[in-house]
Every structure is written in structure tokens, then in C-alpha cells.
Chains A and B, each alone.
Chain A
């Protein structure tokens, strides 16, 4: 049989660590059975994970490409595949294929810029890859601000890493917020879009947004009010996907396929697309 370069046929991955991050989000560490990364990726790219008989779904790769040992996926329990993954134990094999989509322009448009990352809930998962990439190549970027909000303290993803690593980095400012007052929380309380406006950032930055669609919408509005131009703001979209290579026909927004032309879009590019995402 002739050699085929396959895009739809996955590789085997092994879950080597499971971390319960929040009540409904777990972070899975995945390598091949040989103990290496299944493939290289760029920050913001995605991978298709599947469990035979359950289904296949697209997830953003939350670990940075600078992690040479393994890939990580932060996954919220909300559907068939994710529920199955949440009961999986260390040693469980899954299938993995990718990487898919366009990454954040970390090596061009972001270079030399002050960075503002804004995430809501599990929306931190795709941004963690970029944040850790920027932290790894710290001297390539200016000041880094991270605004992250969730429903409660317990729902903050990667809390330990944020507190112990991100917050202690020179030139990195972390601004956390939760939706409602909570015992044991003396930080900011309120929704992300309002918090961003309260913080009142200078516009000498590139902003990267990810979160629930409603959060993205209002945060973008807030940034515009602060004087940001849409060409300075990036986000990453998520729609249903089956193939990951722009052929199965379901993740399009207008003539663009999120899996192949996205998932990363600059907000002025989104203006060119119909509001069907």
C-alpha cells in the first residue's frame, strides 16, 4: 500500500496526568505511548481528541509550545466527550490529531508589544498557551497584563500557576476578578468587561480576548471605549468541527472556516464576517 499523509487518522495519546482545576474543569497531560509530544504546535492552535465509540471533539492546546515534554488540555465537562474524559484515569489512551488552525501571531505582530490578555472562565485555556510562550521569551515582549475572571474563586483555572508563577514574574501584572462576593476572597469582584474599563488600560498594547461570546462582545466594546482599535484586538473562536481541515463544512462563518482560517481572528477581520458565531 502506498504511503498516505493522513489528516483524519489520529495517533494514540496517553493521559499521563489529570489535574482537577475547578469543580468542572480538569487539565489533562497527554503524550504518545513513547512518552513524547504527539506533534509540535503554535500558541492558539487546537487538536482533535477522541475516545473511540464516544466521539471526537476539538480542544485548544493550553500548554505552550515551549513545553517540550507534553501537551496539556484544560477541558470543561459539558458534553459527551468531555464527560467521558472527566472520568478517565491516568494511563487511559485516547486518540489525538492536529495541530489545527492559525496560531496567534506571537512571532510577528506581537513582538515588541505590551500585551493585555483578557479571559473569562475556561476561556483562559487557549490564552495560557500564549501567556506562557510570552513569559518564556520574556524579552521579546513589553509589559504583560492579564485580566482573568470567573464565577467564583474555585472556578479560576490554573489558580496555582497564576499565583505562584505569573504573579511573581517581573513585568507581569495579574488582575483577577470573580462574579460575586465570596468568603475568603479579598480581590476584585465584578464582571470582566467592567473590570477592564475600571483598570483603564493605555492603548499602547495588543489585547487578546477569550471567553464566553457575551463576555467577548462587551469586553471588546469596553476596549473600544478605552480607545483601542479593533486591529489591536485578537480573539479565538469556537464552533462545531468534525474534520479540522476546512472540508466537512460546519465551522464556517461566512466564507471563513474557523478550523483552518481561524480560530484566531483579529477583531477587525471579524467585522468582515456575518455575525453567525
Chain B
């Protein structure tokens, strides 16, 4: 483990930014935190969560995939992608770091999604341990330790110091690049902070939310549960939950005529939208109840069934904060899981 004094934080950022694009949460004028590209003068935000998750560094909200040149009856496909930049995402929380594993299992399983893979290859994830989890946090439900996040490098921030631990080869490379600014240290301060954080985690209002009732193979148990009707009754189908969700990975592929040619792009989509499954001959999820059920069944049953029991939720709490009707996965788990 290595450390540097807080006073050197910006020097570290400056050093990283010399060779790679550096992104981190920055406070906005509206009082929210958003990932932004760091440059001297920008201050790292200590906010617990960003509005949108950092999944967009690997799976952008919109990305151009190719373009077409058409002339008469002929078509030419143009690969419009440029080399992926090397970048560092700093300040990723434990929940969001776990979401990358969940997305990896989708995009990096055969056939590998080359767009995602290229970004994943070029990105270094530097996580930041939580010290002040909030009342909407429930990462513990999914065995995530907010005091010991994963990532290529894990960092802890105390009042006076910044601590670093490399977890991967990429992380070692990152540490080498800031070696002159850091010094070897022991884990005492970090361990003390972790103990404190874990105590807070235990006392959070959602500390006892359990997902044990769910998992692969439970489709029949939950699919026809009458509770879906009441749970989904007020759902507006706005898709906010899917857009702020770090693990939602559904996408659309669309064409857009720019006037100078057609581009084909991929963008985030939502299973909560009525046209998501709409076909020329009908829609197999016609009601909001069916669409609502799909989203939660995917995270709690279908995803674990296809991914060794791992749930498609990391307990970041963004959907709890963002939903305009205050419906969320915790209420769904409690209602369906029997704790009514």
C-alpha cells in the first residue's frame, strides 16, 4: 500500500492527466456530482454517488457504430471508429465497480462486443472507498464491501492522506506512473477507516434487505405473482431507473440520416418503454405490468440464472432516488420475497 498527503492530490491528477484522459466526479452548479474530464482547476467531488453511473465510459449512452455511403443501388459501409483513448476513471464507488463485472459478463462473453471491449482494455478503474454511505445504499445485499471496493486500483481518503492499493497489472502500471508522488505505508489508517465504515453500513435503513429469496431457476415462482399488478400500477414507464442504473445494458441500434449520409448508432434503451418489444405483428409485452416485471425479473432471476447466481443489481440506490413514483427494486424484493 502507498500513500500521499491530501495536499498532493492535484499533483497526482496532473501526473495522470499527462499521459491519459482522467475522469472523475465533479460537483455541478445544481449541487449534483457528474463525471467530467479533469483539468487543473477542477475539484474532485467527495459526493457519494454521481447522477449517472460510470458505465457510460465503457457503454456510452450513444455511440456511432458505422456509417453508410449510398449511391443508386449500391451501399458502402464505412468503419467510422477511431482508436480508443487511454483513460482513467477515478473515484468509482464499490457498487459501480461491481457493475463493470456484471456488464463484462454480457459484453465480453462470446461473441465479444468489440466496442465495449476496446474501452474496457484502454480504461483504468480507480475506485474510492465509501466513508459516508447513505440511506439509499444497499450494496451489502449483494455482498459488496463499500469499504474495500474492487477496480484496478483501490483508494481510501482520510482527513490528511490518500491511500492506494493496486489490484491488477493495469493498477500496478498506474501506481508506477505516480510512484514519485507516493510513499510506501502500512494499512493501519485504512483499516481503522474501514472498520468505521462497516459499522455505519450495518446501521443503514436498508442494511437488512436480503436477495436470498431470488436467483436463477425461480422464474415460475415469481412470474405469475399477483403482486406485479400492484407494484407496477403507478409506473410511468419513464425509464429513469434504467438510465441511472449501472447494470442496465439493453440497447437499441438505430439509423439516422444526417443529410450527408446515414449513420448507424447504438444507444441505451429501456425495457420499460412500450416500443421496446414492439414488432410489426404485435407486442409480447403489451402492458406496463409486463414491462415492469421484465426489468426486475431480469435483475433478480434471469441474470443470475445465466451468470452463476450473480444478481444484476449492485445496490447503488440511484433508482431509489430517481424514480418519480418512488417505486424501486427494494420494494419489489421486499414484496415478492415475502417481507410484506
- A positions within 8 Å CB-CB of B: 1, 4-12, 50, 52-56, 78-80, 82, 89, 91-95, 238-240, 242-243, 245, 247-252, 254-255, 273-274, 276-277
Cβ of B94 within 8 Å of any chain A Cβ, yes or no, is: no
* Contact (Cβ within 8 A) A276 B284: yes
* Contact (Cβ within 8 A) B281 A78: yes
The residue among B219, B262, B298, B305 with the most chain A CB atoms within 10 A of its own CB is B219
* Contact (Cβ within 8 A) B278 A1: no
Residues on A with beta carbons closer than 8 Å to the beta carbon of B70: 52-53
Known contacts: A52-B264, A242-B252, A276-B285. The answer to whether A12 contacts B77 by CB under 8 A is: yes
Known contacts: A5-B112, A12-B75. The answer to whether A254 contacts B255 by CB under 8 A is: no
Residues on A with beta carbons closer than 8 Å to the beta carbon of B106: 247
CB distance from B239 to the nearest CB of A (A): 13
Q: Which of B87-112 contact A (CB under 8 A)?
A: 106-107, 111-112
Q: Name the residue of chain A whose CB is nearest to the CB of B301.
A: A255
Q: Which of B105-128 contact A (CB under 8 A)?
A: 106-107, 111-115
CB distance from B329 to the nearest CB of A (A): 17
Residues on A with beta carbons closer than 8 Å to the beta carbon of B65: 8-9
Cα(A53)–Cα(B298), bound, Å: 31
* Contact (Cβ within 8 A) B262 A255: no
Among the stretches B17-25, B142-150, B183-191, B269-277, the one at the interface with A is B269-277
Known: A250-B250, A255-B219, A255-B305. 7 other contacts (CB 8 A): A5-B112, A7-B114, A9-B66, A9-B77, A12-B77, A93-B74, A252-B302
Cα(A56)–Cα(B65), bound, Å: 14
A-B contact count (CB 8 A): 116
Per-position contact with A for B250-283: 1 when CB-CB < 8 Å, else 0?
1111110100001010100101000011111100
Which interface class (under 10, 10 to 19, 20 to 34, 35 or more) fits B?
35 or more
Residues on A with beta carbons closer than 8 Å to the beta carbon of B113: 7-8, 247
* Contact (Cβ within 8 A) B276 A52: no
Cα(A247)–Cα(B279), bound, Å: 18
* Contact (Cβ within 8 A) A250 B277: yes
Cα(A53)–Cα(B66), bound, Å: 12
Cα(A243)–Cα(B68), bound, Å: 18
Cβ of B86 within 8 Å of any chain A Cβ, yes or no, is: no
Q: Name the residue of chain B whose CB is nearest to the CB of A3.
A: B114
Partner of B271, one of A7, A239, A250: A250
- B positions within 8 Å CB-CB of A: 65-66, 68, 70, 73-77, 79, 83, 106-107, 111-115, 216, 219-220, 223-224, 249-255, 257, 262, 264, 266, 269, 271, 276-281, 284-285, 290, 294, 297-298, 301-302, 305-306
* Contact (Cβ within 8 A) A243 B253: yes
CB distance from A78 to the nearest CB of B (A): 4
Q: Name the residue of chain B whose CB is nearest to the CB of A77.
A: B280
Q: Name the residue of chain B whose CB is nearest to the CB of A276.
A: B284
Q: Name the residue of chain B whose CB is nearest to the CB of A79.
A: B280
CB distance from B287 to the nearest CB of A (A): 11
* Contact (Cβ within 8 A) B255 A55: yes
Residues on A with beta carbons closer than 8 Å to the beta carbon of B77: 9-12, 95
* Contact (Cβ within 8 A) B219 A254: yes
Known contacts: A93-B73, A254-B219. The answer to whether A7 contacts B280 by CB under 8 A is: no
Cα(A56)–Cα(B280), bound, Å: 13
